[in-house]
Each structure stands twice: as structure tokens, then as C-alpha cells.
Structure 1
Amino acid sequence: MRIVGGTHRGLTLAEVGAGDAAAHLRPTSDRVREALFNMLTQGKWGDLVQGQRVLDLFAGTGALGLEALSRGASTVTLVDDGAAARALIRTNIEKLRAMGTTRLYRRNATDLGPNRGPAFGLIFLDPPYGMGLGAKALTSALTNDWIAPAATLVWEENAPQLAPQGFETLDQRRYGETWITLLRAPHPSSV
């Protein structure tokens, strides 16, 4: 697993290894990450990464958030409640020397609590597949002011996801077992 584009292109990230089965670590493959970031940076919506504050929920290894940082995001906040995942994320943050532009929170992504800072313009949701946790995390993030108006959300699951009320589906693509659903959060006038 490596960073596939941007200023840290080619940097090898920490290996998941045998890991902890209970941690549900399932990193997004390099191929899927490359296709996703091509869509986010060169798609019909322009560059959705450059200068964004990024929130990576169910961060796992941190690969999605750190890829965004490599491609021009201003800051990345990574959220995971697993000890194995947080250890991998810390290692990967150190490999990128990104301590000043990242934050790592030990939180349950489905129960984030209130956001005490500015909202995020790009959010990654990569929950354990098939458990309904993505919808719960999205509800928690929205009701607790983590999501900026008109933010872009990238939801990775093993099935296509329906846009929650008020959200707009921008794109949906399948890569093997993985479905990527790209959403736009409600604009202030539509809330």
C-alpha cells in the first residue's frame, strides 16, 4: 500500500499485516484509491480536494485522508476507535511527516459528539462493510456540525448507497466488491 499521487506519491505506507481481525481493517486498494482521487481531482466538478479540510471516518490505516493531504488538502482529521488502526495511522502520519496538518481522534464514528471547530468540506466514510454503520456515522456527523454546507462525501461500501434526504448523488461506481458513492451535502438554502 502506497500513496498513489501528489507530493508524497510512491511513499510506502505501514502494512496491515495479519492485524487484528476484530479491527475490521480493510484498506482501500491502491487501484481503487487512484480511480477515486482521479474522480475527485479531475472530474466534472473540478478539484474537490485542493485546500479542503478533510474528515476521514473509520480511518483504518489513514490511507484515504493521507492521500488527500498528499494531493493538496489543507488539513486531515482521522477518526477511528480501534487501537490497531490508530497505531497504523500514527505510523503513517510520521512517514508523511504530517504531524502539523493532521489530527487523530479516538472516537466512535457513529457517535462523534459536537464538532468544536470549523466544519469539513470533504468527508470519507469507509465503514466495515454491510453493518449499516455508514448511515449512522453520516447522521452523527451532520447533526453535530462536522459537515460543511455543500461538502463532498465519499462513501465506500460493498453495495451502492442511497443518498440520505437532502443529499445529492453525484456519482456511483463499482470496483470489484467495492462501491464508491459520491454525495453532495445539502446547501444552506435546502436545509
Structure 2
Amino acid sequence: MRIVGGAWRGRRLASVGKGDTAAHLRPTTDRVRESIFNLLVNGGHADALDGTRVLDVFAGTGALGLEALSRGAATATFIEQGRKSLSILRENIDLLGADARVHARDARRPGPGTPHDLIFLDPPYGQSLGEKAIAALRDQGWIAPEALIVWEEAAPPILTGLRHIDQRKYGDTTVTLAKME
């Protein structure tokens, strides 16, 4: 894995190796990540990156949030609870010298937070965790009123309280763009 664009373009990220099968590590591939950021920029959401506050939920390796920092986001906050994922996430932050915050907690019970403008949501597929996390994050103040949400899932998610913007399929990954209603 590597950063595909921006100031850190080409920089390698920590190897996931065989990962931890119990952790269900499924990093967003470079190709899908590049497609997501092209969709943001070319889909009229370029301002979603410039100086924004990014929240990477179910962060895993942190590749999405770190990519956003590389491309001009002001801050990145990561929510992840898996021990192996947290280790790789912190290693990636250190490798890039990124100024980022990590919250080691369950995204469905995040506790109070500050509003973020761009939300990356990449829950384990097929477990309906994304819907529960979005509700909790909204209720706890993590999501700004006009936040753009980039949601990765195997199938199109249920967008309760969200307005559908766009949706694309990349192999077994469906990427949905939505905004808070």
C-alpha cells in the first residue's frame, strides 16, 4: 500500500502482511482509494479536501484519512478498536509524520466529539455496523451538519438521515457518497 496522491504521493505505508484474520483487516486498495479521491475532485467535491476536518471511522490502516491529509485536509481523526489495526495505523502515522489523533474505541459508542466535514466510513462488510456508527457519531457531535460521507460497503447501505449523492461499484466494494439531511 502507498499514498496515491498529494504531498505524500508514492510514500509506502506499513505492510499489512498476512494481517490478523480475527481482525478482518481489509484495507482499501490503492486503485479504489484513487477512484474515491477522483470521484471527490471530479464530482464537484474538491472543497471536501481543502482544509477540512476528516474523520476516518473503522480506520483500519488509516489509508483513507492519511490520503486526505496528503491531499490538503487540515486535520484527521481516526476511530478504530482492533489491536492489530491500531498498531498498523499508528505505524503509518509515524511513517508519514502526520499530525493526527487516534481514538481507540468502538465507532458505535464513540463518546462526545467535535464536528468533522468529511467522514470516511469503512465498516466490516455485511454486519450493519455502518448504520449504527453513523447514528452514534451524529448523536455525539462528530459529524458537521453539511458533512460529506464516503461509505464503503459490499452492498449499498441504508441511508437513514442521509441524502444520497453518488454511488459507484469497484469489484466487491460499493462506494456511496451522502450528506447529512
- The bucket for the TM-score relative to the shorter chain is over 0.9
Q: CA deviation at 1:163?
A: 1.9
Indicate the residue corresponding to 1:189 in structure 2. none
1:175 matched to 2:159? The reply is no
Question: Unaligned stretches of 5+ in structure 1?
Answer: 187-191
8 Å CA contact 2:131, 2:158 repeated in 1:
no
Matches within 5 A, 1:23-34: 23-34=23-34
Deviation at 1:185, TM superposition (A): 1.1
Of the three residues 117, 122, 125, the one matched with 1:121 is: 117
- Bigger drift between 20-29 and 42-51 goes to 42-51
The structural deviation recorded for 1:18 is 1.1
**What is the letter of the counterpart of residue 42 of structure 2?**
Q
What is the total number of aligned residue pairs between the two structures?
181
What residue in structure 2 maps to residue 102 of structure 1? Answer: 100
SS in 2 for 1:44: helix
Let me know the Cα RMSD of the aligned residues: 0.9
Whole-angstrom distance in 2 between the partners of 1:14 and 1:140: 30
Tell me which residue corresponds to 2:42. Answer: 42
Residue aligning to 2:147: 151
Runs of at least 5 residues in structure 2 that lack an aligned partner in the other structure: none
Q: For each residue in 1:127-178, what CA deviation from the matched residue of structure 2 results, as whole angstroms up to 9, or x when unmatched? A: 000011000100110010100011000110000123213x211100000000
Q: Which runs of 4+ in 1 moved over 2 A?
A: 44-47
Please tell me whether the aligned partners of residues 131 and 159 of structure 2 are also in contact (alpha carbons under 8 angstroms): no
Question: Which amino acid letter does the alignment assign opposite residue 123 of structure 1?
Answer: I
Instruction: Single out whichever of 13-22 and 38-47 deviates more from structure 2.
Output: 38-47
Counterpart in the other structure of 2:62: 62
- In structure 1, the residue matched to 2:85 is 85
Distance 1:68 1:4 in 2: 10
TM-score using structure 2 length: 0.97
Identity %: 54
Structure 1 residue 114, shift from structure 2 partner: 1.3
Aligned residue identity for 1:181? T
**Cα distance, 1:42 vs. partner?**
2.7
In structure 1, how many angstroms separate the alpha carbons of the residues matched to 2:25 and 2:82? 9
TM-score normalized by the length of structure 1: 0.92
Residues 2-35 of structure 1: per-residue CA shift (max 9 Å, x gap): 0000000000101111111111110000000001
CA distance in 1, matches of 2:142, 2:44: 25
Instruction: Tell whether 2:106 aligns with 1:111.
Output: no
For 1:143 and 1:183, locate their aligned partners in 2 and report how far apart those are by CA, in whole Å: 17
Give the C-alpha shift of residue 102 in structure 1.
0.2
Match of 2:18 in 1: 18
Contact 2:54/2:119, CA 8 A, preserved across alignment: yes
> Which deviations, in whole Å up to 9, do the C-alpha atoms of 1:85-104 show, x marking residues without a partner?
01101110011111xx2001
Separation of aligned partners in 2, 1:52 and 1:102: 13
Q: Distance in 2 between matches of 1:45 and 1:22?
A: 36
* In 1: Cα distance, 2:42 partner to 2:48 partner: 9
